[in-house]
Each structure stands twice: as C-alpha cells, then as structure tokens.
Amino acid sequence: MSRNTRQVVQLVGVGLVLVLLVVLFVATRGGSSTSTTGVSSGNRSAVATAKATAGSTGAKTATTRGSEGVDPDSGLRWVAESSLPKEAKTTLGLIRAGGPYPYPRNDDQTFSNREAILPKRANGYYREYTVVTPGSDDRGARRIIRGREGELYYTDDHYGSFRRVREGA
C-alpha cells in the first residue's frame, strides 16, 4: 500500500470516529431525531452549524428556514396555537388572564432553562405553567413556558423538547 493510500485510509478512519462520536453525543442528549416536538439541544448545535455554513457558502438555508416552520430566533419548530391540545389552550387563557392556575405553588414560577434548549436569557426571564394532563395523578409532563417579552414555548415531554407557539394561528 502506498504512503498516500495509507494517509487517505487514516483520514477516513479519523473521520468515521468523529462521526460516531457526534452520533453518540446527540443520542445521549435525547436528540437523535427531529420530531414535530421540537429541536433538541443536540440538534440546536446542528442548526447553528447549518446557519454558519449557509453564511460562509452562500447557501439559502437561512432564508428557507422560516418556510420549514422553524422560528429563526430560537431554532425551534413552530406549533400553531390552534393545534395545541385543549388543555394547553386553557393554560394559555389562564396565562393571559393572570391566573388563577391549577398548581399555584408551581405555576407562574421561574423556569431556569437548565436543559438549555430555549434561547439563553438572564435568570428569571422564563416563567413556567402546567398544562393539565387528563388521567394523570400529578402535574404530568406538559408545560408552557413564557418569556418576559411574551414569547411562548410548549413541551409535552417535560422539557425534553420544545416548540415555539405561533399565537393566533
């Protein structure tokens, strides 16, 4: 085997190891797929990479993202308010009315964004609200998160993923 062939084989091997490491990282972060529930933290880095690549290569990724249903500010998929479960719509009504909330000790409290899926903001920026889950004997996994500027996010898997709520849609 020639020296050049060995170098190519070594580079391919290194590339495969890197790809496997990325796949393992994404899989352990719960982001092995981009379902309709949102973009996981692992996939957010892929979105950021795609945006950077688009800027450097002149690709149209940044301009087509909005048409794919992705909020350009958060990198999360949009969900129409009208397509949310009725309990989520009820929670949105309570948020707009200022309460009262079904879990007053937990609702309208600071959401710390420890998962770092939502855009990074100062502590206290986000507030959390329970979306009642019928048949559950606890708060369940569904929440609406509201940012200080009024933006809304929905999760149905207890912060594993989020979608940005498109109000009035």
**How many Cα atoms within 13 Å fall on the side-chain side of residue 109?**
10
Coil, strand, or helix at residue 126? strand
**Residue among 68, 115, 128, 167 flagged as catalytic:** 128
41-50 — which CB contacts under 8 Å span 24+ positions? 41/115, 41/116, 41/117, 44/75, 44/117, 47/75, 48/75
**Residue among 68, 87, 115, 158 flagged as catalytic:** 158
DSSP class of 17: H
Active site residue 68: no
Active site residue 128: yes
Question: Active-site positions?
Answer: 128, 158
